[in-house]
Structure 1
Amino acid sequence: MHEPPPANRPAWRRICLSFVWAGRGVLVMIRTQSNAQIHAVAALGVVIAGFFFGISRGEWCAVVGAIGLVLTAEGINTAIEAVVDLASPERHPLAERAKDVAAGAVLLAALAALVIGLLIFGPHVLALLGH
């Protein structure tokens, strides 16, 4: 746990610390969440494929947006799960609903990213296969 920086610290120091804590949150998510690890590996594969196929700037924008959307949804899901577990250690229907809805949001983001990936990489793969 970290304390917020004292208000008497310079603004640049507080801003730098907020980036450090945010980076730590990303690392915690990647280290502790198996689905986040899968998404991160998939993102790396998509980036490699983007360089291999030489996708356009607009296609890169869509790919980066899709990766950001999925990882952001995964981070929000991870945070919601942690807060729900803290607030409701015992099983409760509302706690279960919150976790299911958050996980569903990640699924929707991943499906949207999959469609974006198919639209961008499908033609490149078909061209490579000679179709």
Structure 2
Amino acid sequence: MSEQQQPVSEFKSKSGLRRIFSAFFYSIDGIRTACRTEHAFRQELVLVVVGIIIALALPLSSYQKLLMIAVLLQVLVVELLNSAIEAVVDRVSLERNPLSKNAKDYGSAAVLLTLLIAIGTWAVILVNRFYY
């Protein structure tokens, strides 16, 4: 009996430096696509850019600035994952289905929790810096 071969993507056939460059440009394409097609991503991107500028301008330690920027970037990461979940669900079927709704709701909940973590992190750092 012969084993059935799994299809191999063109990306997997590349190796070394060529694969690293390809992965980088695929990632850039993903960010561009999200900017072009995802309204929530664009809104969050603006907030992240403003937040990074504010974090860098504040009189805080390097570690505090790093943490504040990291939690903002994490919001974008989770938003991209949420968009990927939505795209896959829509690719499978556009008809209403409770499982499809659950998958999309879980992705949305992950974004919300990540936003709450970012807000909490910023609040703790800023309150400790400016009120204590």
Scaled to the shorter chain, the TM-score interval is: 0.7 to 0.9
Q: Which residue pairs with 1:91 in the alignment?
A: 96
Distance of 2:101 and 2:11 partners within structure 1: 35
Residues 14, 56 of structure 1: alpha-carbon distance in 2 compared, 3 angstrom cutoff: same
RMSD: 2.1
Aligned 8 A contact 2:48 2:73 in 1: no
Gaps (5+ residues) in structure 1? Answer: none
Match for 2:107: what amino acid? A
Q: By how many angstroms is 1:122 displaced?
A: 3.7
Distance of 1:56 and 1:6 partners within structure 2: 42
Q: Which residue pairs with 1:4 in the alignment?
A: 10
Distance of 1:119 and 1:81 partners within structure 2: 33
SS at match of 2:56: helix
SS at match of 1:116: helix
Match for 1:30: what amino acid? C
Deviations 1:81-124 (A, max 9, x none): 00000112211110011001100100000111011111223455
Distance of 1:14 and 1:112 partners within structure 2: 34
- Normalised to the residue count of structure 2, the TM-score between the two structures is 0.83
Q: By how many angstroms is 1:80 displaced?
A: 0.2
Q: By how many angstroms is 1:36 displaced?
A: 1.1
Q: Which residue pairs with 2:44 in the alignment?
A: 39
Residues 114, 17 of structure 1: alpha-carbon distance in 2 compared, 3 angstrom cutoff: same
Confirm or deny that 1:118 pairs with 2:116: no
Q: By how many angstroms is 1:6 displaced?
A: 7.5
Gaps (5+ residues) in structure 2? Answer: 1-8
Q: By how many angstroms is 1:25 displaced?
A: 0.3
Higher relative contact order (CA 8 A, sep 6+): 1
Q: Which residue pairs with 1:105 in the alignment?
A: 110
Moved over 4 A (4+): none
Q: Number of residue pairs matched? A: 124
Q: Which residue pairs with 2:73 in the alignment?
A: 68
Residues 36, 122 of structure 1: alpha-carbon distance in 2 compared, 3 angstrom cutoff: farther
